[in-house]
Amino acid sequence: MKSMKFFALVAAITLNTFNAHADSLFDYTVYTKEGVLSARSNILGDVGSGGPIDLRHFLIGGDIFSAESVRFNSGTVQGRIIAPDVRLSNGEAWDGIRERNPFSRSDLNRFAREMDSLSARLARLPNSIEARVQRGTLMIVANPNRETNVLNISARDFEASGNLYFSGHANSVFVINISGNTARFANKGILLEKRGGGRPLLGNIIFNFVDATDVLIQSSGVPLSETVSTQIGPQSVGIPATILAPYADVIFREASLTGAIFAKALRSVSKREDLLSVRGGQINAWCFAAADLDIGCYR
């Protein structure tokens, strides 16, 4: 009897190690409702989706969870793969593969609701930043008396605004609400200026594409600095922010980002392009946190 209980306990522990561990969107570096299609990309964190995940020539620095399937060619997963259907070619998963659904229907509904409700909640925040364009740069300066600073802007004005400049103290949080069906985050330089001491301005910015159905993120970001390199290692920081786009197909290409992406779907190419024709880019895990809004990871 004791032997049977022991084996039952071992089986339960083994099964549990293959469950999706996330309690929140913010436990993922990438989470999409409907799928991921990417090539020549590095995602240094956990990836989850309610749809299929198809990766070519890549590195995943964490686990992969899919409610449908995982296909990958020529890559490495430095964690587990858990999906009902897994097909590998010239690749490996360091911590094993389990062909089962890591998500219950309630899990998928919960993550979708969390994504939708978070976006709607942020969109309702009143504008609190008087941003201005100066010499081709959108100047976004935090109010010294506020922790959370909100800018509401149309996708057209955001695209036309040129480069981005953020200035604030270490605990300043920036919520950028962008409205419009189609949005482009392309060819934008980003400058971060931290006032006072403390850590760099990473995990402080979220771009909320409120109602977009198509978002392009390409060739944008901030150069690597010595201060930041001690925080995340020798990668390009790129866009130092979380991207929230609950209704959008997000194309992420030839770019880097330090934060997370939560979207309807994530691709590195448009539907008309060959998957290997464009470099996807790199996403470094860094969690957004806004303590006064009770959102994200707490420092």
Residue-wise pLDDT for 132-159, tens only, equals 999 889 999 999 889 999 999 999 999 9
Confidence of residue 19 (pLDDT cuts 50, 70, 90): low
Tens of pLDDT, residues 34-54? 999 998 889 999 999 999 999
Strand partners for 206: 175, 242
Which of these ranges, 59-73, 134-148, 227-241, has the smallest mean pLDDT? 227-241
Q: Is the dihedral of CA 61, 183, 107, 70 positive or negative?
A: negative
Confidence of residue 20 (pLDDT cuts 50, 70, 90): low
**CA 193 from chain center: how many Å?**
23
More confident residue, 186 or 243: 243
**Beta carbons of 291 and 147 less than 8 angstroms apart:** yes
The pLDDT score that the predictor gives to residue 15 is 40
Top-confidence range, 6-10, 127-131, 275-279: 127-131
More confident residue, 234 or 250: 250
The pLDDT score that the predictor gives to residue 191 is 85
Report CA-CA distances (Å) from 48 to 1, 62, 63, 142.
39, 10, 8, 33
Residue 213 has pLDDT above 50, yes or no: yes
With a pLDDT cut of 70, the percent of the chain lying above it is 84
